[in-house]
Amino acid sequence: MKAVSDELMSALMDDMRDVAKAEIMPRFRGVTADAMRAKTMVDDLVTDADIAAEKSLSARLTARFPGIAIIGEEAVSEDASVLSRLAAADLAAVIDPVDGTWHFAHGTPMFGSILAIVSGGETIAGLIHYPVLGDFLVARRGYGAWHVALDGTQTRLSVAAPTPLEEMHGFIPLHMFEPDRREKLATRVLNFLRVTTWRCSAWEYRMLATGAMSFCLNESLKPWDHAAGVLIHAEAGGHAATMEGETYRPTMTGGHLLAAPDAASWNAIRTSL
């Protein structure tokens, strides 16, 4: 598959809406201690909603695309070898069923569901659904990035205009970097107007693609966090690459990803950091 049609994009959005309605929203604000568990660290959570939503969306995608490789965050958490299927797959779906699980588990609405369709190692469609709002950010390569409102109204997205560093807002999760890198970044973030972290890729990419925030530096390259978001950001006019200058690919597993309004801004931010 080289492209995703309008009809297929609509069907994928329907699938994500249905899964959110059946598996995510009924559990929102009803998460109890026995319905959430820690994974890699005390605040890296998984809930019953994550697991049920991933299983449900995976089943729908498998029925829609026979033979597709499913790369789900929770499946990889249970069996790390699942991630290796992405590089070899002719067609793959990368799923983050509830991105921003910490927020979801604690009753705040800053979470989303992320789906990327990857063909031959390249993201050809990215969709981010925001179940509380009922809207989407979506993109296909070469077709622009779009906000799709609850009523179906579509608005083309555009990243922030380039500005001097001291006027930029950005995301950097300082606590997630290795200690020596964290110490250096902690002083360098003062070069910008404001730097924060929202603990949710779905919402951070929303802020980048709508122009509310200028840049984001990520400490890891998990494909369920970035495969869809990088495409949406690029189709909204943005520029993203690793700090070594390498173009992002969903099969990457190492490096730090920097997203910015354009190449010139990317270079200026990288130099500053």
- Kindly give the interhelix angle for 223-235 and 201-209, rounded to the nearest 10 degrees: 10
Sheet holding 169-171, edge to edge: 194-196, 169-171, 215-218, 257-260, 239-242
Q: For residue 215, give Cα distances in angstroms to 20, 203, 248, 261, 266.
A: 29, 13, 15, 7, 8
Q: Which residues contact 183 (CB under 8 A, 6 or more apart)?
A: none
Confidence band of 39 (pLDDT split at 50, 70, 90) = very low
What is the biggest distance separating any 2 CA atoms in the chain, rounded to whole angstroms?
Answer: 50
CA dihedral 147, 149, 151, 152 (to 10 degrees): 20
pLDDT by residue (tens digit) across 51-107?
999 999 999 999 999 999 999 999 999 999 999 999 989 999 999 999 999 899 889
Read off the pLDDT of each residue in 155-180 and give the average, rounded to a whole number. Answer: 96
pLDDT of residue 253: 87
Tell me the one-letter amino acid at 155: T
Cα(206)–Cα(6) distance, integer angstroms: 21
Asked whether residue 7 carries a pLDDT value surpassing 50, the answer given is: yes
Q: Where are the beta strands (DSSP E) in the chain?
A: 36-38, 45-47, 69-72, 91-99, 112-119, 122-130, 135-140, 145-148, 154-156, 169-171, 194-196, 215-218, 239-242, 257-260
